[in-house]
A and B are shown apart, each in its own frame.
Chain A
Amino acid sequence: MTHDATMSPAAARAAIAAVIRRIVPDADLDGLADDDPIRAELELDSLDFLSFVELLSDATGIRIDESDYPDLSTMARAISFLTARGTVHGDG
């Protein structure tokens, strides 16, 4: 277990990108600037966003409450949120 190691920004970015691709397979992630509003840019409706939260929580093992949603509004904020909260998850 490496539960005390925090998640690196690169790992956080990769996790977010992977989750977005599962919801919007042809998403233009290169065209998404770190400060762009993710939901507006990728046209995520409330159900898509719920899936985003669900998959991100599953992938990182981090509990994400409704009050945390604003912290996921841009790539930059989401990376900060995950690195602040996150630990490298799993046994490997």
Chain B
Amino acid sequence: MADFTMPSLGADMDEGTLQEWLVKPGDTVHKGDIVAVVDTAKANIEVESFVEGVVQQLLVEPGTTVPVGQVLAVLGNGVATASSAEEPAEPPAPAEAPPTPPPTSPPVASESAPEEARVAAERPGSVRVTPLARRLAAELGVDLGTVTTTDDAPIRAKDVRAAAAVLRPAPEPTSEEPGPAQQPSKAEAMRTVIANLMSRSKREVPHYYLSTTVDLAPAMAWLHERNRALDVSHRLVPAALMLKATALAAQATPALNGFWVDGGFTPGGAVHLGIAISLRGGGLVAPALHDAADLSVEELMAGMRDLVTRARAGRLRGSELSDSTITVTNLGEQGVEAVHGVIYPPQVALVGFGRVVERPWAVDGLIGVRPVTTLTLAGDHRATDGFTGARFLTDIEQRLQHPEEL
């Protein structure tokens, strides 16, 4: 027997709404199969199964919002399950303990332990609070004892926000904002998620920043030569080369590729390159391009186009939102020359590429006009020092001088 639970799709996900089941009782599910679509503040996410089995029971109806960790379906091993009698099935109601993220989700720094103890001491027994709600309550100065929920449900972020709004009615009420009871829009919900995660990053992560200018003449020349012969659908953009060089460098510098969890660094293993994608209408997601170091530039280009298309259509997969080991942001098309980014916790590094610009550049004692980009690194100083970061940026730069080897 195995439970399929509401996964944690990112460090600040608190709850999700089951949109659609893609399996029914009796279906055989393999690891990696997409079994459901879940709506979060960020997007509709296709959620994969992490276990093998036969679907025995679907416990949650589409349209239901449940906290992270709640059992959504029960999977059996396909043969008559004698043990199921001894092992009572999980009730469909939220489990008694505060929901915990499933073990397959990326490790998230456990920051709330002392708070948790304090809250438990204040409110012994019955009240259940989701981790995000607890953190929000601390941020907004809301006493969890004053927060009420319906039907004995656990206290969630929205309950805390509602309580905060009652405590402190909108500071500058305007005629366009009817009141705190209004349901936040998708854009507002995403803004809140980004605000929480980035605030946490700036609060917890001691960033250091490095930057260097990279001559892209060889890369651009190679690219133009290659694209000249090809149909539009097979052409590459400079970003594909930048991402491949970054993935290879991250593979060669494992200290920057992974997570800072519980006061220590956990290597990410493979390089799952998070790609920051801005969404039309505002907001940002950074889904993972899995095993980016092992992809050819053509495969990487195709993977990048697919990710961008699906991110904007709101159809990403759960593992893509939770697996990134290092993130790249490429503001290359938006007119600025450099980006000094904010790390996505629990990752420990964020790489930025600025716009490709033509600049006077000295090569072998002669000045010429070359396409260059400003390459930056935001590093978590708990995990690495500037020396490692500098070696990493130099590695990316060197790899971009030999585009044919990428």
B227 touches A66 (CB 8 A): yes
Q: How far is the CA of A89 from the CA of B335 in the complex (A)?
A: 36
B335 touches A40 (CB 8 A): yes
Contact with B along A53-64 (1 / 0, CB 8 A): 110010000001
Contact with B along A18-37 (1 / 0, CB 8 A): 00000010100000000000
Contacts of B332 in A (CB 8 A): 46
Contacts of B80 in A (CB 8 A): none
Whether B30 sits at the interface, judged by CB under 8 Å, is: no
A50 touches B235 (CB 8 A): yes
Q: How far is the CB of B372 from chain A (nearest CB, A)?
A: 17
Query: How many contacting A-B pairs (Cβ < 8 A)?
Result: 38
Q: How far is the CA of A50 from the CA of B236 in the complex (A)?
A: 9
With A39-B333, A54-B232: A47-B305 Cβ-Cβ less than 8 Å: yes
B235 touches A66 (CB 8 A): yes
Residue with the highest number of chain A CB atoms closer than 10 Å, among B232, B280, B304, B335 = B232
Contacts of A45 in B (CB 8 A): 278, 308, 333-334
With A44-B333, A46-B332: A64-B232 Cβ-Cβ less than 8 Å: yes
Q: How far is the CA of A6 from the CA of B228 in the complex (A)?
A: 25
Q: How far is the CB of B112 from chain A (nearest CB, A)?
A: 37
Q: How far is the CA of A43 from the CA of B281 in the complex (A)?
A: 11
Interface residue range, chain B: 10 to 19
B280 touches A24 (CB 8 A): yes
B232 touches A50 (CB 8 A): yes
Pick the residue among A40, A47, A54 that contacts B237 (CB under 8 A).
A47
B280 touches A26 (CB 8 A): yes
Within 8 A of A (CB), among B142-198: none
Q: What is the size, in residues, of chain A's interface with B at 8 Å between Cβ atoms?
A: 17
Q: How far is the CA of A65 from the CA of B235 in the complex (A)?
A: 10
Nearest neighbor of B281 in chain A, beta-carbon distance: A26
With A53-B232, A66-B227: A43-B280 Cβ-Cβ less than 8 Å: yes
Q: How far is the CA of A66 from the CA of B220 in the complex (A)?
A: 12
With A26-B280, A44-B333: A66-B239 Cβ-Cβ less than 8 Å: no
Contacts of B238 in A (CB 8 A): 46
Q: How far is the CB of B339 from chain A (nearest CB, A)?
A: 14
With A26-B280, A39-B333: A46-B224 Cβ-Cβ less than 8 Å: no
Contacts of B237 in A (CB 8 A): 46-47, 50
Residue with the highest number of chain B CB atoms closer than 10 Å, among A26, A44, A47 = A47
Contacts of A50 in B (CB 8 A): 232, 235, 237, 305
Within 8 A of A (CB), among B211-251: 224, 227-228, 232-233, 235, 237-239
Which A-B residue pairs are the 6 nearest by beta carbons? A54-B232, A46-B237, A45-B333, A66-B227, A53-B232, A47-B308
Could you name 9 residue pairs across A and B whose Cβ atoms are closer than 8 Å? Answer: A26-B280, A39-B333, A44-B333, A46-B333, A47-B237, A49-B333, A50-B305, A54-B233, A66-B235
